Amino acid sequence: MISGIPFSLALLAQGSELDLFKLILASSILSKAVLIILLIFSVFSWAIIFKKFTAMRKLRRDSETFIRMFRKSKRFSEIGTACESLRNTPLVEVFLAGHEELETQLLRDGKSPSAAASGSPTLKTINVIQRALSRASSVELTKLERNMGWLATTASVTPFIGLFGTVLGIITAFTGLGVEGTATIRAVAPGIAEALIATAAGLFAAIPAVIAYNYFVHQVKEFGSAMDDFSLEFLNLMERTFS
C-alpha cells in the first residue's frame, strides 16, 4: 500500500499534465494568442537573465582583480597594460578615462606622465579629471542597466496579460453556458480551467522577472558604488602625486 503511493502520485501528475496540455490545445485562438505572447516574454526574460548573470559574475571577478592590481602598482603604465586583459570590469573604463585626461593635461605642458611624476608636479586642476571620471561612470552604469527595462516590463505587464486572457476565457465559458442552458459544474469547470491557464502563465513569466530585476538592480548599485569609490581613490592619488 505504501509502496504504491509514489506510483499513484506519478500517474496523477502525468494525468494532470496531459489534461493541461489538452486544455491548451482545445483553447480558443485568442487564448492561444495570449499564451504565445506570454511565452515570448518569458523566453526573452530568461535569455536576459542568463546573459546578465554570467556577465555580472565576470564583472565582479575582474573588478576585484583590477582593484588589487591598482592598489599594488606604482606606475600608471603597468595598470594600463593590465587593463587589456580586464575589459569585463567597468572600473577599467573609468580608469582609462581619468588617465587619458591626466595625460592630456600633462602633455599640454610638454611633459610625459612618467616625467612629471618623477620631477616637479605640473597638474593644474583636478576638476577636469573628476568630470571625466564621472562621465565614464555614468556611461558604464548605462551599459550595466541595458536590457533591464525588458525585465521590468515583463514583471509588470505579464500578470495583466494573463488576467486579460482569463477574463476573456471566463466570458467565453459563461457565454457558452448560457447558450446551452445548463448550469452544472461539469459544464462550467472546463471553461474556467482553460481561462485560469492564462493567469498561471502570466505569473510564471512575471515571478522570475521580478526576482531577477531586483537582483540586478542591487548588483548595478554595488558596481556604481565601486566606481565612485575607485574615482575617489584615483583623485586622491592624483592630488598626492601632482599637486
Give 107-122 pLDDT, tens digit per residue.
665 555 444 444 444 5
**What is the mean pLDDT of the segment spanning 82-100?**
81
Task: Determine the pLDDT at residue 150.
Answer: 93
What global pTM score does this model have?
0.76
Task: Determine the pLDDT at residue 32.
Answer: 83
Res. 49: pLDDT tops 90: yes
Q: Is residue 1 part of a domain?
A: no
pLDDT tier, 1 (very low <50, low <70, confident <90, very high otherwise): very low
Query: pLDDT higher for 147 or 185?
Result: 147
Task: Determine the pLDDT at residue 168.
Answer: 83
Q: Is residue 8 part of a domain?
A: no
Computed on alpha carbons and rounded to an integer, the radius of gyration of the chain in Å comes to 29
Rounded to an integer, what distance in angstroms lies between the CA atom of residue 226 and that of residue 60? 10
pLDDT tier, 223 (very low <50, low <70, confident <90, very high otherwise): very high
Res. 85: pLDDT tops 60: yes
Count of domains observed in the chain? 1
Q: Domain residues for 237?
A: 28-242
Res. 12: pLDDT tops 90: no
Q: Is residue 186 part of a domain?
A: yes
pLDDT tier, 158 (very low <50, low <70, confident <90, very high otherwise): very high
Burial per residue of 67-95, b for 16 or more beta-carbon CB atoms within 10 angstroms, e otherwise: beebeeeeebeebbeebeebebbbbbbbb
Res. 167: pLDDT tops 60: yes
Q: Is residue 22 part of a domain?
A: no
Whole-number percent of the chain with pLDDT over 90: 27
Query: Please, what is the average pLDDT of the chain?
Result: 78
Q: Is residue 51 part of a domain?
A: yes
Q: Is residue 16 part of a domain?
A: no
Query: pLDDT higher for 43 or 115?
Result: 43
Q: Is residue 4 part of a domain?
A: no
pLDDT tier, 221 (very low <50, low <70, confident <90, very high otherwise): very high
**What is the mean pLDDT of the segment spanning 193-216?**
90
Q: Is residue 50 part of a domain?
A: yes
pLDDT tier, 190 (very low <50, low <70, confident <90, very high otherwise): low
**What is the mean pLDDT of the segment spanning 31-39?**
88
Res. 56: pLDDT tops 80: yes
Q: Within 13 Å, how many C-alpha atoms sit on residue 222's CB side?
A: 13
